[in-house]
Structure formats: structure tokens, C-alpha cells
Amino acid sequence: MNAPDQSPLTSNFSPSQSPLGYPTNLLAPGQTYETVNATIADVPLKPAPGPWWVGFIIASLLLLMFLVAVTWLFIKGVGIWGVNVPVAWGFAIVNFVWWVGIAHAGTFISAILLLLFQPWRTAINRFTEAMTLFAVCCAGLMPLLHLGRPWVFYWLLPYPDTMRLWPQFRSPLVWDVFAVGTYFTISLLFWYLGLVPDLATVRDRAKKLWQKKLYGFFALGWRNSAAHWQRHQIAYLLLAGLATPLVLSVHSVVSFDFAVAIVPGWHSTIFPPYFVAGAIYSGFAMALNIIIPVRKIYHLEHLITGRYLNNMANIMLVTGMIVAYGYFIEAFMAWYSGDIFEIYMMMNRAFGPYGWVFWLLMLCNVLVPQALWSARIRRNALLLFVVALFINVGMWIERFVIVISSLNRDYSPSTWAMFYPTKWDWMTLFGSVGLFLTLLFLFIKFLPMISISETRELVAEPEKATTP
């Protein structure tokens, strides 16, 4: 990385290690406005590298599988899945909660870290915001597919119909509609607002006219004037303020789907906090799973430095501990309540027919993440990637445990029964991953995946980039 000049802007003097052995640099030495612009803004303008094509093709094949599964579902009905009575909720709901959870990292990083003036959001916020949007898309689809009669989904929306009926606002499912809807809208605005200045940069760097026009159109005529910046910043802060409560509200509401019901293993007050923690947990895990390879493929190590990975790992460690505490408290309360149904539920969860799933969950979500105590692992991208992978799987399993192993043996023993997923269940799950990745790859290809303007700030204010 040869800097064109020795201007004071270059930040090549800071120690890259904190006394505690943390990486401190948010920006590799030797970055200038030009290098930053070039590395980021040229990705959309240059032809995509080979690895991108490989990933994109795989993703779109998965997406195709998703389409097949969904078509088949609409032809025959939810009976093609393994759902039954008593286990009337299956993979669709598990996937829904999983995706909504993943969506959380984005807003958390963009909004909360922004309000807390944490500079270490700079290189990753764009990414995670995009992730948020796509995850919410997947999440939003799931309840739709889950319906027995998806073609009347709009009955969940309040509108003056010919039957003079309204949704039943006591039902958490109606709350979901609003929670997820709001969340998606705000995230979209937030993401787009952040994009505007960068789109302008891309526009200005573009050579072909159609590119100029395309990016120019979406740049909304951004001219980098002080007035623009001033309004932009205010709007950005306001949106951050709006988004912050959402981080907490959305997953709390989702957790109400369970907490409000009387099913043993669902009816629990700990759910909202521990769902939110779990959400951020899985959100960061997913972020790492995506950022680490992309960082490698596009050689962004000097922009997304070890410092970011380290901090994200720390967040995962914290939220992971909260989640573990949640598991513990659930078990404790089951015993402490003295309620035979709760006690049986816990025994069944751990030692019943789905016991092995429960212990797999403990392995993925409680045991493996303890590795993050070690700074060496936090700094090793590969290991971090593996740990994050475990956590993502673990968080999906957690929802499986909550939904299925609570339902399959609830109050009435004479109706207890097992749930076995069908291949259509699996196709829906992996298909939705396909949808997510396809959107993500398109984003990487056509939009600046790191906030150019904010990275330039780091170049401008080196001390900010190197606070230990």
C-alpha cells in the first residue's frame, strides 16, 4: 500500500497493540482519502472477481430451491411439512425467529454505537445494515408461508373490510406484524440515508455514462455541500434515535409470541431480555461469518482491521453469557416454581426424545463461545469464523428447542407426539439462506459495502482511529 504523498493526513504512527494485547487500529497505516475511495468505490465499478461469481451462483441455486419449495407448499398446503397436532408450529416459526434475531446486529451497530460515539462501527455498519434488511426479508416471508391459507394474510392488517372485522389486537401475532414492519421501514431508511453520500462518490468515480446516471439518480443530487452534510447528520441522528428502541422492542415482541402462550416452556417472563440478547448474539455471529470471507476476497484487511473483529467478538462474548444465564434461569425457575408441568417440560427438554438437540445447543451456544475469552482466538479471523458458525447454528437450534420440544409434550399426555421435519422443511430453511445470500451478493456487487464517507473521517481524525 504505497501512499501517494507524506501528508499529515496519513495515520501511520499509532501502536497497533494495546497493553492488553488488543489490536487498536481501526485503520491500517498509510490510508489516504484516495486509497479509501479507490478500494471501496471501485468494487461496484469493476467486474466482479471469481469468488464472487462462485458464491453468487451457489446462492441463486439455493434461492431456486426455495422457490420450488414454496410453490409446492402453495399447491398442497402446510401438510407437506412435518407439523402436526400437538406440534402445530414447526420450522417456519423457528426460521422466522432465527432470521429476526440475525437482523439485530445491523441496527445495534448503526444506531446504538452511533449514539455512543463508538468509532468502531465505521467499517462494518453498512454491511450489517444490509444484512439486517435481507434477514428481515427472509423473516417476514416465514409467517406468510406458515399460514394455512396464505392468500388471506392481509386479514392480519387493520383495514375497513366488507365484513366489518378487525384483527384481534390481543394476539401477539398482530403485534409481530407491526413490530417487524416498523423495523424493516426504519432500517431501510437508515441504510439508504447512509448510502447517499457514498453513492455520490461512486457516481463521481464512474466512467460509463449509464453508471453515472444510475448512481447519480440514487445519490439524489448529493453535492457534498456543508448544508447537505448538516441536514444529513441531523437526519441520521434522528433515525438512530428512532431505531434504538426498536432494537429492544422487535425481539421482545417476537418473544411475546411464546411468552404470552400458556405452553410450559413458553410462558416465561425471562423471554424478552434473553431473546434480545440472543438476537444480538446471533446478529454479530452472522456479521462475522460474512465479513471475514468478504474481507479476505476483497483485501479489505486495512479497512476492516483486527480491532473490529476483536470488538465484535467481545460483544458476542457478553451477549453469549446473557443467553447462557437465560438457559440457566429457565431451568432454575422450572424447578423453583414447583409446577409439575414446568418441571416435566424441563426434564423432557433435557432428557426427553429431543434431549440430544438440547445438549447440542449447550455445546454451540454456551461451551464453544467460551473460546472468545482468549485474545489470540479473537484476533485469529479463521477461528473467529468457526466460533461464529457454531453460534449461528446454535441460535437456530435454540429456537428449535423452544418451539418443538415444548409443544411435543405439553399438558395432555394422551396427545403427546413427535415432530419429524420433512425434506420440504429443510428446503425452506436452506432456501431462505439462499435468498439472504443472493441479496447480499448483489449488494456487495452494486453498492459500496463500507461507508466511504465515515472511513474518510477516520483518515481525517487519526486519533479517533487509534483510541485503545
Q: List binders of other proteins among 211-270 (CB under 8 A).
A: 212-213, 216-217, 220-221, 257, 260-263
Which among 36, 33, 34, 28 is positioned nearest to 12, based on CA atoms? 28
Work out whether the CA dihedral 30, 36, 37, 39 comes out positive or negative. positive
One-letter amino acid for residue 90 of the chain = G
CB of 166 to other proteins, least distance (A): 8
Q: Which stretch binds other proteins (CB under 8 A): 9-17, 82-90, 446-454, 457-465?
A: 82-90
Grid cell of 262 as nine digits: 400458556
DSSP 414: G
- Which residues in 335-354 contact other proteins (CB under 8 A)? 340-341, 344
| Residue 456 to residues 231, 260, 303, 441, Cα–Cα distance (Å) | 19, 48, 11, 24
Shortest reach from residue 333's CB to other proteins, in Å: 18
- Give the binding range for other proteins (CB under 8 A) out of 78-86, 285-293, 377-385, 389-397: 78-86
Using the rule CB under 8 A, is 16 a contact of other proteins?
no
Minimum CB separation of residue 224 from other proteins in Å reads 13
Of the candidate residues 21, 49, 51, 77, the single one contacting other proteins (CB under 8 A): 77
First to last CA, the chain: 24
Which residues have CB under 8 Å from 347's CB, separation 6+?
none
* Residue 153 binding other proteins, by CB under 8 A: yes
Of 10-18, 148-156, 310-318, 438-446: span binding other proteins (CB under 8 A): 148-156
Q: Which of 6, 162, 225, 269 binds other proteins (CB under 8 A)?
A: 162
Q: Does 2 bind other proteins (CB under 8 A)?
A: no
Three-class SS of residue 17? strand
The residue range among 27-35, 53-61, 96-104, 141-149 that interacts with other proteins, by the rule CB under 8 A, is 141-149
Binding mask 396-425 for other proteins (x = CB under 8 A): -----------x--xxxxxxxx--xxxxx-
Judged by CB, which is closer to other proteins: 93, or 103? 93
> Quick one: DSSP state of residue 359?
H
- Pick the piece of the chain touching other proteins (CB under 8 A) from 39-47, 54-62, 145-153, 181-189: 145-153
Interface with other proteins includes 138 (CB under 8 A)?
no
Nearer to other proteins, 330 or 410 (CB): 410
When binding is defined by CB under 8 A, the residue of 15, 30, 49, 148 that contacts other proteins is: 148
| 3 state SS for 426-453 | HHHHHHHHHHHHHHHHHHHHHCCCCCHH
Q: Is 60 in the site for other proteins (CB under 8 A)?
A: no
Total residues binding other proteins (CB under 8 A): 75
Stretch that binds other proteins, among 3-11, 150-158, 242-250, 433-441 (CB under 8 A): 150-158
Could you give the maximum distance between any two Cα atoms of the chain, in Å?
A: 79
d(CA 211, CA 217): 10
- The residues near 459 (Cβ < 8 Å, ≥ 6 apart) are 9, 10, 11, 27, 31, 32, 33, 36, 465
Assess 1 for contact with other proteins (CB under 8 A): no
Chosen residue from 10, 60, 171, 182 binding other proteins by CB under 8 A: 171
Work out the number of other CB atoms within 10 angstroms of the CB of residue 399. Answer: 24
**Angle formed by the axes of helices 226-259 and 91-102, nearest 10°:** 150
State yes or no: residue 174 binds other proteins (CB under 8 A).
Answer: yes
The number of angstroms, rounded, from the C-alpha of 235 to the middle of its chain's C-alpha atoms is 23
Measuring CA to CA, which residue among 227, 231, 219, 221 is closest to residue 192?
Answer: 219
| Three-class SS state of 23 | strand
What residues between 284 and 323 interact with other proteins by CB under 8 A? none
Q: How far is the CB of 448 from other proteins (least distance, A)?
A: 18
Smallest distance from the beta carbon of 212 to other proteins, in angstroms? 5
Q: Is 114 helix (H, G, I), strand (E, B) or coil?
A: helix
